[in-house]
Amino acid sequence: MGFVKTRDISREIRERCGVFAVVGHPKASELCYYGLYALQHRGQESAGIAVLNGGRIQTKKGMGLVADVFTKDDIVRLRGGSALAHVRYSNVGDEGGIEDAQPISVKMWQGQMAFAHNGNLINAPRLRARLEQDGSIFQTTSDCEVIPHLMAKSGLNDPVKALIKSLSDVRGAYSLCVLTSKGVIAAKDPHGVRPLCLGKLDGAYIICSETCALDAVGAEFIREIDPGEVVFIEEAEHPGSDVGRAKPPVSCYIDGARGKRGMDLCVFEFIYFARPDSDLYGINVHAARKALGRRLAQKDSLSADLVMGIPDSSLSAATGYAEEAGIPYEMGIVKNRYIGRTFIAPTQPLRELGVKIKINPLRKVVSGKRVVMVDDSMVRGTTSKYLVGLLKAAGAKEVHVRISSPPYRFPCFYGIDTSSSGELIAAEKTQEQIRELIGADSLAFLDVEDLEEILGRRAGNLCTACFTGKYPIPLEGEYR
């Protein structure tokens, strides 16, 4: 199988975001604002809202958390019946500044449009090089920007047709929304790697990354967008009226994708990324994580005093483990939830003093105890190593690390940031070497077969490439 070489691609694999779009609601920008709040976990680097008003698109975006970017005045000023919003994921060494914040607003011969997406277009570098040689001038480093350029060259006047034609050239994982002068077009790649669902609120429609954002605005879930589906929702003629502010959604499929393939939803959405109160294809994320934790415990014969999770993403798995093992669930550490982008990290001398702003162990809980520390995933091993040290320093007698997913051995090319296999601790080290490195008394992972059985039984086909190396969307060129 061999490891994939990943030099020079870190710039392309950092898109991991949240999208939220509204069609036909007088308070579209306000709904977007609340929707983005609910999707904040999907991206903390930048946030943006674009609104459609009288055929014109107006945008406000900025760096940081949703709360940092928008003032009340902004939301009042962004008036319109349809809107598109985005939060962008941040990671270390990311070069993209405000110019890469989405929605990306463009004026094309087909009209003004705004684009926002979640995912990664794996052939974007090649498409972009070709477009640039043909004279296209790019404004951002975002892979998403190839789409408007392809549309502008499509020769098709209708934005839906132009988008479908363009997407047949694009390969990768994406959930995309486009705000046009008439409404919103939403598209999911033919493998359905990133989530995207449709909801309804009065006469308006909403398209968003996760169902927790529908709940946040009081909207009703209608259905998932299908892999390969392109949905167009147009504003009704009289957006001021109380009913029927949006026309019913109209669907078509990219390259006849319908029925051609199963879906390959990212298993990591279940493991780590999505919010526990979201449902993906009818499966609640918290319940799925709990089942993974239970399976870990079923395969264990550990004697311990308490089970703890790492806030917030592994708490569901930890409760599942504790219930199944019959070991008390406890709060072993507290995490400060209020650390935003403007937080000034302690300088080295202060760090050496042991300043613990982000995370603090509960000394009285863990001291003298045999602790089972459940985390949802191990990527570089940094988190586990740090927390084992912290718990031991707080007096824990033993720390047993249990990871509710398999060893992460292969880089993700579909929008999750795991730069290169060289950084993946499980890519080159044995389980025993990892255990030693993180300083744990024992270490166990979930088996791939268990993961596939538990989630596959519920969700059908899933992408598990970072654990198995079986990439559902073939890699080529720069990714080989």
| Footprint of ligand 5GP (CB under 6 A) | 272, 310, 313, 375-384, 416-417
Which of 267, 308, 322, 372 contacts ligand SF4 by CB under 6 A? 267
Residue 292 as a binder of ligand SF4 (CB under 6 A): the answer is no
Residue 464 as a binder of ligand SF4 (CB under 6 A): the answer is yes
CA distance 476 to 35: 36
Residue 310 as a binder of Mg ion (CB under 5 A): the answer is yes
**388 vs 459, which CB is nearer to ligand SF4?**
459
Cβ 377 to Mg ion shortest distance, Å: 7
Phi, psi for residue 309 in degrees, rounded to 5: -110, 175
**330 vs 417, which CB is nearer to ligand 5GP?**
417
CA distance 114 to 79: 16
Catalytic residue, candidates 17, 208, 266, 463? 17
Cβ 16 to ligand 5GP shortest distance, Å: 7
Strands across the sheet containing 442-445: 306-309, 370-375, 398-403, 442-445
Q: How far is CA 420 from CA 6, 271, 379, 423, in A?
A: 5, 20, 11, 6
CA distance 34 to 206: 12
Binder of residue 382, out of ligand 5GP, ligand SF4, Mg ion, none (CB less than 5 to 8 A by kind): ligand 5GP
CA 160 distance to own-chain centroid: 25
Cβ 178 to ligand SF4 shortest distance, Å: 23
Binding mask 420-459 for ligand SF4 (x = CB under 6 A): ----------------------------------------
Catalytic annotation present for 212: no
Region from 327-335, 336-344, 365-373, 464-472 binding ligand SF4, contact rule CB under 6 A: 464-472
Report the candidate in 412, 430, 426 with the shortest Cα–Cα distance to residue 466: 412
Which of 284, 313, 319, 464 contacts Mg ion by CB under 5 A? 313
The beta strand positions in 367-407, using DSSP E, are 370-375, 398-403
Cβ 298 to ligand 5GP shortest distance, Å: 22
Q: How far is CA 467 from CA 193, 445, 464, in A?
A: 15, 11, 6
3-state secondary structure at position 368: coil
**19 vs 333, which CB is nearer to Mg ion?**
333
Q: Is the peptide bond before 312 cis (omega within 30 degrees of 0)?
A: yes
Report the candidate in 208, 232, 190 with the shortest Cα–Cα distance to residue 86: 208
**Structure tokens that stand for 436 in this block:** 């030693």
Residue 414 as a binder of ligand SF4 (CB under 6 A): the answer is yes
Residue 268 as a binder of ligand SF4 (CB under 6 A): the answer is yes
Binding mask 182-211 for ligand SF4 (x = CB under 6 A): -----------x------------------
**305 vs 452, which CB is nearer to ligand SF4?**
452
Query: Residues 218, 269: contact at Cβ < 8 Å?
Result: no
Query: Residues 196, 265: contact at Cβ < 8 Å?
Result: no
Catalytic residue numbers read 17
Contact residues: ligand SF4, CB under 6 A: 193, 266-268, 412, 414, 416, 463-466
